[in-house]
Structure 1
Amino acid sequence: MTGKKTHLVFGIFLLLTALAGCSSNKISASASDDGVVHGIKYDKIPKGMDLPSNMVYVPTGSFTLGSAESGSAGTTSVSVNGFWMDKYEVTNAQYHQFVNWVRDSTAAMILGYVHVSKEGDTAVDWSKAKKINFADDDIQQRLSSIMLPSQDLLNDQPELDPSKLIYRAKGFDYNAAAHHPDQPRKNFIYSYDVPIYPDTLVWIKDFDYSYNVSMARDYFENAAYAQYPVVGVNWRQATAFAHWRTNYLNQYLGRKKLAVQNAYRLPTEAEFEYAARGGHNNFLYPWGNYLKNAEGCMMANFKNGKGNYTDDGALYPARVDSYLPNDFGLYNIAGNVSEWTATSYINGYQAYDNDFNPNIYINATDKDSQDKKRKTVRGGSWKDPADGIQVNARSYEYMDSSRSYIGFRCVIDIPPGTPKK
């Protein structure tokens, strides 16, 4: 496979549960056909996973989407279903785990460290992939197709080519399938390839006439920033991370013979605003209507006036566990870094939204117009003034663009029977 572009296919895994035996609620069908509807019998339902790690439950509820206080396009009352949300923004360390998985998987496929099933399916042999010594001269020769050419090296030190770390995600377009029931299922299955390494040069591209070389060099790679929010990640990369995270979890659950879970995903715009409000419909900010607490400490990481970035104790992004959480237990749901949502950006969106679980989603492709590629960004960041971190503040970025001030966090839907904290 050397010399060929290697893609990783991480498929959709579905667990089909056998339905037989006694149901958990003691209602069972009779052994004979007695003409009475008893319902099917459930048996061998796999035990579910433990409560999600470092996530908080945002309960089902209603709120007023948008706020006239900040001059938004309008307000409307909506309801959202409960969901689990990352307590913190996704960190450099967490995203590095994704990058390393793609790196090791790509290298393993090239080196032939694979298992081949009876059906001919190929899977990475992780017992070997985890032991790859990328500093070994022979390994570097065998991996030449994903190494930087000699003319691109600094100090003649071999390096992997970040552009060759490509993740292939597969998905199903439920919206298109619902509107075209006459078409075969295959028409709605799509895949896309995503180079997943962050754009570390955003620290320079985003700010003309500003010295940020040290951030471009260190922010993603230096362990000192491990617990800081990952940035330089575009919408496609954030979505790919959620896809990988889903399958990474479900493969583990499958090995443990536990029930697979719904997909990790980006929150919708409505979910993000509802979570940011922390159960309070009339707050300007996730914590209330003030910027400092009783001790005079800033409540978030933002720009407090022209050129004043440091009143909150941080010049750039801060650690993801900095400042106080809102009443749902979410840290930096305003400020620090803005965050991608799943929702497409449309002006006057309240007029188009449904009033329950509202979301406008355009599955844009490379061929679509730029307007269709706009994704809503929420939360405000370290570079934004106070009005940019209000709970109703919204902006957008193009799905293929990355910024030094945009990160993300994930949500996951878990069925109602799952115990809550």
Structure 2
Amino acid sequence: MIRATRATCLSHLFTMTFLVLTIQSCLIGRDRDDRGEVVGVSGRLGWKMETPFDMVFIPGGSCVIGAVDQDMASLVNPPNQVAVSSLYVDKCQVTNNKYRQFINALLEEAASMQEARNTSDEQEERDPSSVVEGSSIEKETSTSSVLSEEVIMKELYPDMSVWQKDFAHHMADRMVECYYEHISFDDFPVVGITWEAARHFAAWRTKHLNTYREEHGLWEMPKFRLPTAAEWTYAARGGNPFAKYPWGGPYVRDARGKLLANFKSSRGNYRECGYDHTSPVDHFAPNDYGLHIGGNVSE
């Protein structure tokens, strides 16, 4: 069972990374005689990296992470330069509708598992000898990785109470009731997600993609996962190692005075950026890597 506390902030910023693998094609035929030499395993006909849906490629490089000189924390967390390998990152934050696909898939699995258990119980009641200790049915139900509906709803389902906790100066009742469920918010970022839930989403996303690829005779893709602090910092800066904000400049407003991202600029005046809550994930301009990550939700 998952053990995780609810996030006290509006949301975990939810971006998956996809490691880039450079694999040399092996063109050795299946029946070729290796003449006693080490030539590699035959039959592996090469693999080409494909850009995952809604992701962008981030070339490798280096960035400086840690507190800057003017921060008191720089004494205990001095800046360090770290190398970052090439990777793929979601160009937008995960939407309510994408996360709903994940939740619905888990609930369907849970329902199927419960139905199988009920059928097994009915068979055992009719004929106790039909299910013996140590049988495959017993092992499958006792060691199943399928989560129960109770665990899914308690640990993985978005916690909409964050609207009331984090927006004390905002009438958030409507958001609590509608934000995740209503179709009008499908393209808005999912909020109220714990770190553990984000990891489960990444694992399910990997399984969902590779199940399809296996069924169609395609090579398995690398795993989706959450980015490291260095990877996230590097990607967010958009190739500008000294950028203070994702859009590159040192200011939060453009020449006309409009905010360049969605964030709470002042208490009770949340609509200054154009929205009194979150905005669609691709509403504000992307950084130089093509990532729409300026504000909107917080970790």
Deviation, structure 1 residue 292: 2.4
Alignment partner of 1:221 is 2:225: no
1:211 paired residue among 155, 171, 191? 171
CA distance in 2 between counterparts of 1:122 and 1:256 reads 27
Measured against aligned partners, the alpha-carbon deviations of 1:15-35 in whole angstroms (never above 9, x if no partner) come to xxxxxxx93279x975433xx
Counterpart of 1:322 in structure 2 is 283
CA distance in 2 between counterparts of 1:46 and 1:284 reads 41
Alignment of 1:150-189 (within 5 A): 164=150, 166=152
CA distance in 2 between counterparts of 1:31 and 1:61 reads 39
Alignment partner of 1:99 is 2:85: no
SS in 2 for 1:249: helix
SS in 1 for 2:273: coil
CA distance in 1 between counterparts of 2:115 and 2:46 reads 36
Contact 2:169–2:267 (Cα < 8 Å) also in 1: no
- Which structure exhibits the higher relative contact order, with contacts defined as CA atoms closer than 8 Å and separated by 6 or more residues? 2
1:84 paired residue among 69, 85, 88? 88
Q: Higher strand share goes to which structure?
A: 1
Structure 1 runs not aligned, ≥5 long: 6-21, 114-118, 124-145, 147-162, 168-193, 339-376, 378-421
Measured against aligned partners, the alpha-carbon deviations of 1:76-112 in whole angstroms (never above 9, x if no partner) come to 1111111100000011001100111111111122223
Among the aligned pairs, what percent are the same residue? 35
Contact 1:58–1:328 (Cα < 8 Å) also in 2: yes
CA distance in 2 between counterparts of 1:226 and 1:313 reads 18
CA distance in 2 between counterparts of 1:38 and 1:30 reads 11
Measured against aligned partners, the alpha-carbon deviations of 1:238-283 in whole angstroms (never above 9, x if no partner) come to 1111111111111111111111122111111111100011110111
Amino acid at match of 1:85: V
Amino acid at match of 1:237: A
Measured against aligned partners, the alpha-carbon deviations of 1:20-69 in whole angstroms (never above 9, x if no partner) come to xx93279x975433xxx452243244755632110011111012223526
Alignment partner of 1:32 is 2:14: no
Alignment partner of 1:23 is 2:26: yes
Amino acid at match of 2:195: W
TM-score (normalizing by structure 2): 0.73
Q: Higher helix share goes to which structure?
A: 2
Contact 1:64–1:77 (Cα < 8 Å) also in 2: yes
After superposition, the Cα gap between the structure-2 partners of 1:31 and 1:318, relative to the gap in structure 1 and judged at 3 Å, is closer
CA distance in 2 between counterparts of 1:258 and 1:200 reads 39
Counterpart of 1:43 in structure 2 is 43
Contact 2:285–2:292 (Cα < 8 Å) also in 1: yes
Amino acid at match of 1:314: Y
TM-score (normalizing by structure 1): 0.53
Measured against aligned partners, the alpha-carbon deviations of 1:346-365 in whole angstroms (never above 9, x if no partner) come to xxxxxxxxxxxxxxxxxxxx
After superposition, the Cα gap between the structure-2 partners of 1:292 and 1:211, relative to the gap in structure 1 and judged at 3 Å, is closer
Contact 2:56–2:88 (Cα < 8 Å) also in 1: yes
After superposition, the Cα gap between the structure-2 partners of 1:32 and 1:226, relative to the gap in structure 1 and judged at 3 Å, is same
Counterpart of 1:335 in structure 2 is 295
Structure 2 runs not aligned, ≥5 long: 2-24, 118-135, 142-147
Number of residue pairs the alignment of both structures matches: 248
Contact 1:46–1:258 (Cα < 8 Å) also in 2: no
CA distance in 1 between counterparts of 2:272 and 2:230 reads 30
Alignment partner of 1:293 is 2:254: yes
Counterpart of 2:144 in structure 1 is none
Amino acid at match of 1:51: T
